Amino acid sequence: VTEVAPRARALLAEEQFRMLVESVRDYAIFLLDPRGHVQSWNEGARAIKGYEPEEIIGRHISVFYTPEARDAGRPQELLQLAVEQGRAEEEGWRVRRDGTRFWADVVITSAHDASGQLLGFTKVTRDLTDRRKMEEERLRLVQADEAVRLRDEFLSIASHELKTPLTALQLQLQMAHDSVQLIDDRQAMRLAKAMRAGDRLADLIEALLDVSRIATGKLTLNLEEMELADAVHEVADRVRDGVVRAGSELRINPNGMLRGRWDRLRVEQVMMNFLSNALKYAPGTPIEVTLSRDDKTAVVEVRDHGPGLPPEDLDRVFGRFERASDPGLGGLGLGLYITRQIAEAHGGSVTVRNETSGGACFTLRLPLL
């Protein structure tokens, strides 16, 4: 009895240890013979690698490696390292039974008998795919932040470099204009034209900066509580000269209060774009701006009495770099694209239709308070 008891205890301990290893789910823990063939298989190995014990026992560990790692002799290399140093560890891609890859942390430990003869290896593998994905995601976010920062820096410098000389140019033109206005009509007219060209240049710079901004992310809005009619009247004031020059007439039909939390400058930008378009494509015709409420939405319609849009243009005028088919009318075709981005950033929309009685009607919808 005294001889048997320690041996029975040892067997029991060995059995308990085997059961413990077999039940581990988070780690694949298994034995390899000296040549690298699988000798045992636990629950974790089955869960991580997808093989049943009877499918895998006896097969070489190279089945767990990617073809590239196999071709490079990586399995043998790791076993050799474990023999020489007692232990080999690496993180790398491994292949499951179904062919999918996972990111593994692998530790191979060699086992020797008292005489130093290699008995085999234990191999412990952890699936770190989720952790790696999280790290990749984190890296992606860091890179995205960096891209936004670089974009903002570029926009800031481009804006500054383009607008600074334009500021001096515009002011000098204006002063030259003002000083000759009373004595030389023709010179004053030429200088007024130059100033209008400068205004267009300023608008184009803004548009290009907006498009660069939109291309790399959303427009940021400075929301404030505001009255829609205020923005419409403000823009109407600004286009007054243009209306006179185009021989048009601007009628505004405000219908009660339409309050919302919007970006004032951006809303004015949309209105300016609609009105400039009407003046450009339908000169000499009346332009009607009508404000109304549609349940929880504020609606502004800008209607002209020009030729309307060619039917094929109706669907694409809000796309980037599109403009109505007549190439003689100039412009980069950015304005309507930007209006759509502005409306959508507010949770609203822009649309266009041809009226049956003639003319185009552009509509801006914005959510009310």
Partner 1 sequence: MTVGSLSRTSPVLIVDDDIDVRESFSDALESRGFTVLTASNGELALVLLRTLPSPPGVILLDLMMPVMDGYHFLEACRKDPALAEIPVAVISAGHAVDQSRLTNASLVLRKPLRAEALVGAVLELQSQTRRAG
Residue of 16, 85, 167, 255 that binds partner 1 (CB under 8 A): 167
Site for partner 1 in 205-264 (CB under 8 A): 209, 213
Tokens 């008292």, located at residue: 114
180/200 Cα distance (integer angstroms): 23
214/283 Cα distance (integer angstroms): 31
- Interface with partner 1 by CB under 8 A: which range of 83-91, 159-167, 290-298, 310-318? 159-167
Asked if 61 and 32 touch (Cβ cutoff 8 Å), the reply is yes
36/20 Cα distance (integer angstroms): 23
Residue of 175, 215, 244, 332 that binds partner 1 (CB under 8 A): 175
User: Does 181 sit near partner 1 (CB under 8 A)?
Assistant: no
User: Does 159 sit near partner 1 (CB under 8 A)?
Assistant: yes
Asked if 343 and 366 touch (Cβ cutoff 8 Å), the reply is yes
Tokens 């552009």, located at residue: 362
> Cα-Cα-Cα-Cα dihedral of 216, 217, 218, 221, to 10°?
-80
State which residue, 175 or 215, has the beta carbon closest to partner 1: 175
User: Does 135 sit near partner 1 (CB under 8 A)?
Assistant: no
State which residue, 177 or 323, has the beta carbon closest to partner 1: 177
Residue of 10, 119, 134, 171 that binds partner 1 (CB under 8 A): 171
Could you say which DSSP state residue 122 is in? E
User: Does 202 sit near partner 1 (CB under 8 A)?
Assistant: yes
124/133 Cα distance (integer angstroms): 21
User: Does 165 sit near partner 1 (CB under 8 A)?
Assistant: yes
End-to-end CA distance of the chain: 90
- Interface with partner 1 by CB under 8 A: which range of 108-116, 174-182, 323-331, 346-354? 174-182
User: Does 178 sit near partner 1 (CB under 8 A)?
Assistant: yes
Residue of 68, 113, 114, 160 that binds partner 1 (CB under 8 A): 160
User: Does 198 sit near partner 1 (CB under 8 A)?
Assistant: yes
Q: How many CA atoms lie within 13 A of 356 on its CB side?
A: 0
User: How near is the Cβ of 221 to partner 1 at its closest, in Å?
Assistant: 13
- Residues forming contacts to partner 1 in the complex (CB under 8 A) are 152, 155-156, 158-160, 162-172, 174-175, 178, 198, 202, 209, 213
